[in-house]
Structure 1
Amino acid sequence: MGMYGRILLWMLCLIAGAVASTARAEPSSPDVTVQRLSGDASPEAILSGARVAELQPAKSRADVLRADSSEASWWRITSRRAIGAQAEPQLVLTTPYLSRVELWLPGRGVPQTRMLYGRDYDSRYSTRALVFPLPGDVRAGEAFWVRVTSRGAVPMRVSIEPRDEVHRKDLIFVGGRMALLGSTAILLVLALAMWLRVRDANYAMFAVAMVSIMLYLAAVGGEMRFIPGLAQVFGSSSLPQRLVGGVGVIASNVFLWTYMDLRRQMPWAYRLLQALSVVMGVATFGSVLGAGAALTMVANLTILVVASSIVVCSVMLALRGSRPGLVVMVSWIPLAIFSSLRVLQIVGWWSGPEWADHLQSFGFAMAGLLLMLGTTEQMLHLRREHDRVSHIARVDTVTGTLSRGALDRALAETLAQAQHSGTIFSVVFIDVDHFKQVNDVHGHAVGDACLRFIAMRARNHLRASDVLGRYGGDELLAILPGADGTRAREVAAKVHRAVAVRPLMIDGLQLPCTLSLGAAQWRPGERVEELLARADAALYRSKAAGRNCVHLAPGDTPTAEELYV
């Protein structure tokens, strides 16, 4: 089992354990009971108790308040335990999103009002919950009335807790949110850096998805209230969140079908995700423009279909041995499970513990991290493959020196440098004498080894700035930047002696070997072809003179001296 398989197994075991422990803990009674009053009413009628008989129990858990309408509604919260005044009891409503809550106490004509955004937010507490201080002792059976106006159908978990407990949970929540938003921000920066570095549009799509996730999480979680301008935009309506969410879904679709190469691997899935992206775009922008709740429902259903389709595609690709498919499967299955649990919470079919309210946010961060790791891994694999191909194209596999193409490029670069700086350089052709006989008598394997040993001995007598490559067949070419003809002749003589001084030892064979060499110095205004032609003519003179010697092109030294060895 690979790394990603172990991660998936670990996460699934964690999810199963958490759900199982939650199921076992479910029968425990909540600390409060929540009841709803149908329709709005005046505070006087509510506080007088005239409409108590009309109260209805909460639809799911007794301690969950679910305002599923944008109209104001009254709720009675009854404590089931006593908390002394010294503990400073607080009424707590978690995950308030865009809900505006008023706490009405008997004998007070003005309510306490709390909201995550606007002038009613309480900076003494985190964005985890809306918190109301309660006066004096809280007795078991004591009831409190709240009036809720909600712009989003997000359930709020209700409890009455001592102030120290509220602060303790706030500290844990703030630490978790900092880790969540911080990791998402880091992934965004990495995606942007990779996009700027490699100019791969897929990283740009990943960055757009990360921006959308960050904005969505910060808006829903309430952290957006600390950013001037954005607080007014995201705190006044749920439409910006829908727009950001829709853009994020479309960007993630583009990223995923590109990353998994669905256009080639699974054309039907590629076309399906394209169609779903179009539907998502129409539904998102339509709902933002006020086209009605129907399009909002279409958008939500589209998200479920998209998530299911990606899970199916990734599993199928992973079973085929696709590494990107495995990465998406590992990152997407937990996110799909967390998102499904959150949907079950919203519709009231499952409540779970308080920490389950944040599973979806955790799933977003984990999916982003795993996908970033997978994308980077794929990019590194492509880079290594590119380097391998480049190495094969640049290096001659027999001698380990430069290939002919790389040698031509090095010659052109050396010539351009010499022309630009007014310096000189020389070249030396190195030819193995009677190399065909070596191949015919001992075979090509010995011939290749012979070339390899000669290249090693030649390289030992060249400077680090010099270039050595295989020009073709049994011919090597050395490029000597900054060397005049005299220096080139000296280098050629050293290479000649290094090979001729002792036989080559190849697979137990003692193979005597000699070289013929021809050198030439570049002259200002001379083209590469002309320089090589003069060096080749000098090499031909060495062969015509009986081989096993070095010749310098005429005119490259005052005496045009020939050196015999």
Structure 2
Amino acid sequence: MDCRVNNDSCGLDLQPMIRPLNVYSQGDLRREATRGGKSDRFSRRLRKLVWVLMFLGQTANSAAAVEERLTLRFVVAQAADQIPDLTTDTEPSTAQEYLVDSSEGGWWLLTLPPATEESTGGRVLYFQQAHTARIGLLLPTQEELVWRQRIKAPGPAWGVHMDLPVLLPPELDGGGRMLLHFSDVSNRRIVPKLAGLDSYLQNSARLKAIFVACASALLIMALLSFGFQRGFDDRSYGYLAFFAAASAAYVISMSGELYLLLPGGYSFISVGTAFERSSAGLSLIFSLLFINRFLQLEQRRPRAQRLLLVLVWAQLLVVVSNWIQPQSPHPAAALAGNVLVLLAIPVVFIEALKALRDGIKSGLFVLLAWTPSLLTLCLWIAILQGWLHSQVDLLPLVSIGMVLQVAVLSLGLAEAGYRLRRERDLAESKANLDPLTGLLNRRALDRRLQELSAAADQTGEPLTLLFLDLDHFKQINDSHGHAIGDDCLRHLGRLISSMVRANDPVARYGGEEFLVVLPGLDTTGARALAESIRQRIETTPLVTDNATVHLKASLGLSRWRPGKDTVATMTARADQALYMAKREGRNRVVVATEPGAEDSVAVLP
């Protein structure tokens, strides 16, 4: 009988769903997987993508496929190759709601209701949370069992990988009974569900979009973190990048999209379980390494750091153990890895709270990143281990939680980096500034003068240096006190800065001496500016509550001689010109004498 079903609305040939699958044939799986459509395109902006993910997470479980009621009875506990005869074997037990495993697996009788109007286009039988189950169905149109197993035989590409979907033939639209063989190494309770094809396809497409979107967002953040790590040379970005990449690997493999979307994805089928567990373990390892550095535990809490490192090494051993037999890792490895996750959660929370108490803002970001996903992660682990029996599919919420966790930690790391750079810039600024006047200090001016003189050599532009000294400053201190003397120096710095261009370096060289560098200004222009500064100082006294102090200053000028001068010689000649101004009566401007020139030029008031 031809059981081919065509659905023009989704453009899929659904014949593979009623064909028996060989568990050990990767070729059959590859042919079925290629029938799936292309993945959706997602927004380039990460912020918009996160909001979309949050919206999808809220609607993931609320928009589940419309389900029909099933009747399930246990028949007999025996191997899959021993199909029971219901006419002679033991009568089926009373009706149950879920499948449970026996020591070697067992046969169950599934009674299907007639198709409703909503499912006239075909019906899909699927099994949520069947992570480690192996299910064989004896359809009335087949002589062999149709096998489903999450990694080796998950079903067609349009189905959700963990649902193990089977498209039922039209012969069962009127209802009927069929046998299925169920075995599972875990203690989970699996509830078979029945839904119309159109309803199931809509829900499947929505869930696939969530998984691919989450994995894409995590990979984008991993690449950005790798870039920042190279730019800032901070291992924190590297740990965060590996954390995001491992989380993306877990989401894309656990959902099954790895085997469908990536070229060569089917090469992972034989080691799919080991790959999933290793991705989860590496995610925990790099998240703990990141938190250790982010919360500064090495400096603040060495004992807590050692505890986290013990968890890291223990999880690393679990990851390695998964690859001893990668085709069938021991369930104890999964249990050990999940227990380590549960142990790490309270440690991280306690250290984040203590960091916040100590005034470290990074603790707040850790709490914001871990708190929303804590309950979901704990429930997910409990369901995986069979400790909690629930039919709520938490993988979409776990995936979205991973994205939000990495995003919040990325923001926290960026904020911490900005704060450190700001503190470093402030410290560097303080190291380069005179604390009294706020002008450049001598060290900063020497460095700036080196840069400007090198530029003058290359461009041929003029460069002049103005050396200024406050006249009779000792008498001011003696007469009015050192506090007024300090006010005079600040007043003088403000006057000089107001007279020069914004890019002209002004520095307090020491005591009452000031230096001004004038790039692009020749001797004539610099001398005119120096005279204007001298007159401004003389005509603008310092007025305080207790006194009015009249100031005068002497100034010396020197110009840069390309190929002949050094910063030291240029400064020395300006200092010599200042000495001559002092000797000739103060309150004047003197231009330094150059070798071979006549007497220096003094501009008198």
Normalised to the residue count of structure 1, the TM-score between the two structures is: 0.83
Determine whether 1:177 maps to 2:217: no
Aligned to 1:494, the other structure's residue is in SS state: helix
**How far apart, in 1, do the equivalents of 2:94 and 2:230 lie?**
58
Q: 1:100 to 1:229 in 2, by over 3 A?
A: farther
The residue that corresponds to 1:237 in the other structure is: 272
Contact 1:128 1:173 in 2 (8 A): no
Structure with the higher helix share, 1 or 2: 1
The residue that corresponds to 1:358 in the other structure is: 396
Q: Superposition pairs for residues 81-480 of structure 1, below 5 Å?
A: 83-84=116-117, 86=120, 88-97=122-131, 101-113=135-147, 121-127=155-161, 129-136=163-170, 142-147=176-181, 157-225=191-259, 226-234=261-269, 236-290=271-325, 292-352=330-390, 354-480=392-518
Of 228-237 and 162-171, deviating more is 228-237
**How far apart, in 2, do the equivalents of 1:304 and 1:57 lie?**
37
Q: 1:34 to 1:270 in 2, by over 3 A?
A: farther
Contiguous gaps of at least 5 residues in structure 1: 1-13, 23-28
Output the amino acid matched with 2:295: M
Contact 1:234 1:240 in 2 (8 A): no
Q: 1:444 to 1:295 in 2, by over 3 A?
A: same
Aligned to 1:513, the other structure's residue is in SS state: coil
Output the amino acid matched with 1:503: P
Shift of 1:196: 2.1
Q: How many pairs were matched up?
A: 535
Deviations 1:262-306 (A, max 9, x none): 222222211111122222222321231138554444333323222
Normalised to the residue count of structure 2, the TM-score between the two structures is: 0.78
Q: 1:42 to 1:289 in 2, by over 3 A?
A: closer
Q: 1:419 to 1:501 in 2, by over 3 A?
A: same
Shift of 1:238: 0.8
**Percentage identity across paired residues of the two chains:** 26
Deviations 1:94-139 (A, max 9, x none): 3555766443212421454556667864133454633322234868
**How far apart, in 2, do the equivalents of 1:428 and 1:108 lie?**
100
Output the amino acid matched with 1:41: A
Deviations 1:314-367 (A, max 9, x none): 334334443223322332244332222112223444344534353332332222
Contact 2:437 2:493 in 1 (8 A): yes
Aligned to 1:551, the other structure's residue is in SS state: strand
Aligned to 1:562, the other structure's residue is in SS state: strand
**How far apart, in 2, do the equivalents of 1:46 and 1:236 lie?**
33
Of 29-38 and 214-223, deviating more is 29-38
Aligned to 1:354, the other structure's residue is in SS state: coil
The residue that corresponds to 1:11 in the other structure is: none
The residue that corresponds to 2:574 in the other structure is: 535
- Give the one of 531, 539, 544 matched to 1:501: 539
Q: 1:53 to 1:441 in 2, by over 3 A?
A: farther
The residue that corresponds to 2:588 in the other structure is: 549
The residue that corresponds to 1:8 in the other structure is: none
**How far apart, in 1, do the equivalents of 2:559 and 2:150 lie?**
80
The residue that corresponds to 2:81 in the other structure is: 42
Contiguous gaps of at least 5 residues in structure 2: 1-53
Contact 2:470 2:552 in 1 (8 A): yes
Of 471-480 and 116-125, deviating more is 116-125
Output the amino acid matched with 2:263: P
CA RMSD of aligned residues (A): 3.5
Output the amino acid matched with 1:109: E
Shift of 1:52: 5.9
Contact 2:211 2:251 in 1 (8 A): no
- Give the one of 510, 513, 526 matched to 2:551: 513
Q: 1:484 to 1:364 in 2, by over 3 A?
A: same
